[in-house]
Structure 1
Amino acid sequence: MTGMPTYVLIAGPEQVLADRALASTIEAYRAVDPETEVIRMEASTYQPGELAMHASPSLFSGTKLLVVRDLDEGGDDLVQDVVALVETDLQDVWLTVLHKGGQRGKKALTALKNADARVIDAPAIKSDRDKSSFVMGEFQVARRKITPDAVRALLEAVGKDLSELASSCQQLIADTAGVVDEGRVALYYGGKVEATGFRVADAAVAGNAADALRLLRHALASGVDPVPIVAVLASQLRQVARVATAGGGSSGALAKSLGMAPWQVDRARQAARGWDGDRLGRAIQAVAAADFAVKGGGRDPVYAVEQAVLAITAQRHGAATGRAG
């Protein structure tokens, strides 16, 4: 077992990163011993003594890799068994533990770290800035290039769920050649609800009522629910407001402080040029009213979202004193 740590701790809540770390860990151990037996245990169904039983040598078994998932969901028995195993002189046994975060199981985490466990972080990826970096990293690992506009389009289409975002990156990498641009992303994912909502929002925030209504009605005729469209309208307006009130500085610095991607800052800055604080506030209030209506508070969700779009475009063209056009 030379060259590999006896203990590995995969720490963090991001399931995609944790699963990848586990897969690469198993691959690394099997590179040392292809016959390694992987024994997986879930904290929620763990039975006292299970770890010790699997770690015990037997006549016919070779090297074992014990994998404990979600230690943070386990009880005291599991924590005590992990600590006891770490304090044992293991022979032909490796231990990998996954822990999503928090204080539960802290004694076991301390024991693993004191035993020089290799720690692999799986931090949460929630902000658009982090997701943009994730997408860029996926393409860099594959030695491929993706344009900033394509990253934006991909996040708008599938960025809510990281596992779907990762799958989309892999699909684009596998199915395309050369630089992936916005047109290629639109070809694959342009019909997604989120992408449709962003196109409506872009037109509305820019004050283009005709385009916004055309895109909206096409989306609704295609079966898109008004709720996610209103959510995107609200998100776009909030971004414009945040960037408009954040002061100067480079896009990168501002993106970092706001938890946004640089391209989002650039787009929000451009959109903010046609707005003032009062009219932005009224537009946000109109979208909040639409949000209430489309979630059951009104009689006609379609009418509510159309009125929200018209309210945004009217405020965009209103006078600086706040009068809607």
Structure 2
Amino acid sequence: MAAPRSSSRGSGSAAKGTKIPQVPWREPRPAPIVLVSGPEEVLAERAIAGVRDYLRAEDPALEVSDIRADDYAAGTLLSLTSPSLFGEPRLVRVAGVEKCTDAFLQEAVRYVENPQEGATVILRHTGASVRGKKLLDAVRAGAGGGIEIPCAAIKRDGDRVDFAAGEFKAAKKRIAPTALRSLVSAFADDLTELAAACQQLIGDVEGDITDDVINKYYGGRVEVSAFVVADTAIAGHYGEALIAMRHALASGADPVPMVAAFAMKLRTMARVAGNREPSRQLASRLGMKDWQVDRARRDLQGWNERSLGMAIQATARADAEVKGAARDPIFALERMIAVIATREPFGH
């Protein structure tokens, strides 16, 4: 069966400078040419496997071949994509396009102008170099009726949380917000391990995934950061914020930097509040990054001048108390979190 031909009017929105659909890595589909671009290998592996599974579900007789563009024997691409005796569909996965040889580049550019019927060719380019740009430009211009699956780097905490949340959502599995943050914190430096941990929990745990489940599986690795506590409280989740605070303290966190994390986020919110300038323009004027402005605007949902001022005052008081102005720094933290999460005076 032939891989479906895709046009620039297909599903997915074309990125700036391209004429082909941009397809989410969680929703991969075949096309005569599939460009899997970007540095995040976990996402790329999922996308490539998804295309294979899609084709194999259509025809179990799918022939799968792998070649490397940086160690390429002339004629290989055309040989592997040519129809076989019985006409089975073919999938050719090409790795290392960012390091491709001249021979591969020349043959691939010719190939995308006239792809073989019934063949799907996946081009994996990490973006680590401009090598292969001529081929990428041809694909993105629409040659071969291809699609692109971008796999951008996941570096920010928010991106990792979104990734993990997506894993559980795709599996129709519920996870408590604090459990999700704890899990991401445990694997903050390795997306591959985070992905594996998500799949382990999805496969092993019956029912919802709670804080107790995360502690059981990964308690030795979990370290709730001060910013996780701050994010939870600012979002208005009072009970979850208290749990996260106690977990952070039990993991060795110090009250002083925890209050500092709150103060930093609230100051950013105060600087952004009420300003309707475009994110890039405001960020430039305030000496911030675009994403910091966008995050502060999301954090400000549900806040007003009164509640923000009260939160800043509560944080200033807690800052003095955890530095020695009071006997019980834990109570000072709890009072600050209560004011911020409920947006009401303490004990109200």
Q: Is the shorter-chain TM-score for this pair beyond 0.5, marking a shared fold?
A: yes
Partner of residue 258 from structure 1, selected from 292, 313, 329: 292
Matched, 1:243 2:265: yes
Deviation track 1:87-127 (CA, whole Å, cap 9, x = no partner) reads: 23513322111111253212111222322202222221111
- Give 3-state SS (helix, strand or coil) of 1:179's partner: coil
Q: Partners of 1:34 and 1:42 in 2: how far apart?
A: 24
Aligned to 1:16: 42
1:235–1:168 distance in 2 versus 1, CA, 3 Å: farther
1:202-241 alignment to 2 at 5 Å? Answer: 239-240=261-262
Alpha-carbon distance, 1:196 to partner: 4.5
The answer (yes or no) to whether the contact 1:36–1:64 under 8 Å persists in 2 is yes
Matched, 1:131 2:160: yes
1:8-157 alignment to 2 at 5 Å? Answer: 8-57=34-83, 59=85, 62-101=88-127, 102-113=129-140, 114-115=142-143, 116-157=145-186
Amino acid at match of 1:257: W
Alpha-carbon distance, 1:212 to partner: 9.1
Aligned length: 254
- Give 3-state SS (helix, strand or coil) of 1:187's partner: helix
Matched, 1:273 2:273: no
- Give 3-state SS (helix, strand or coil) of 2:208's partner: coil
Amino acid at match of 2:164: V
1:134–1:58 distance in 2 versus 1, CA, 3 Å: closer
1:261–1:233 distance in 2 versus 1, CA, 3 Å: farther
The answer (yes or no) to whether the contact 1:11–1:98 under 8 Å persists in 2 is yes
Deviation track 1:243-278 (CA, whole Å, cap 9, x = no partner) reads: 24313368xx9998339989xx79xx89x92589xx
Amino acid at match of 2:43: L
TM-score by length of 2: 0.60
Alpha-carbon distance, 1:131 to partner: 0.9
1:213–1:90 distance in 2 versus 1, CA, 3 Å: closer
The answer (yes or no) to whether the contact 1:12–1:122 under 8 Å persists in 2 is yes
The answer (yes or no) to whether the contact 2:3–2:120 under 8 Å persists in 1 is no
1:143–1:318 distance in 2 versus 1, CA, 3 Å: same
Matched, 1:166 2:195: yes
RMSD: 4.1
Amino acid at match of 2:134: K
1:118–1:274 distance in 2 versus 1, CA, 3 Å: same
Alpha-carbon distance, 1:66 to partner: 1.2
Matched, 1:190 2:219: yes
- Give 3-state SS (helix, strand or coil) of 2:269's partner: coil
- Give 3-state SS (helix, strand or coil) of 1:45's partner: coil
Q: Partners of 1:53 and 1:2 in 2: how far apart?
A: 17
Query: Which piece of structure 1 moves more, 139-148 or 40-49?
Result: 40-49
1:69–1:3 distance in 2 versus 1, CA, 3 Å: closer
Report sequence identity in percent: 33
The answer (yes or no) to whether the contact 2:35–2:147 under 8 Å persists in 1 is yes
Q: Partners of 1:104 and 1:234 in 2: how far apart?
A: 49
Deviation track 1:12-67 (CA, whole Å, cap 9, x = no partner) reads: 21111111111110111222322121111123322333213323445477432111
Q: Partners of 2:170 and 2:47 in 1: how far apart?
A: 15
The answer (yes or no) to whether the contact 2:255–2:322 under 8 Å persists in 1 is no
1:67–1:35 distance in 2 versus 1, CA, 3 Å: same
The answer (yes or no) to whether the contact 1:130–1:261 under 8 Å persists in 2 is no
TM-score by length of 1: 0.64
- Give 3-state SS (helix, strand or coil) of 1:44's partner: coil
Q: Partners of 1:156 and 1:260 in 2: how far apart?
A: 22
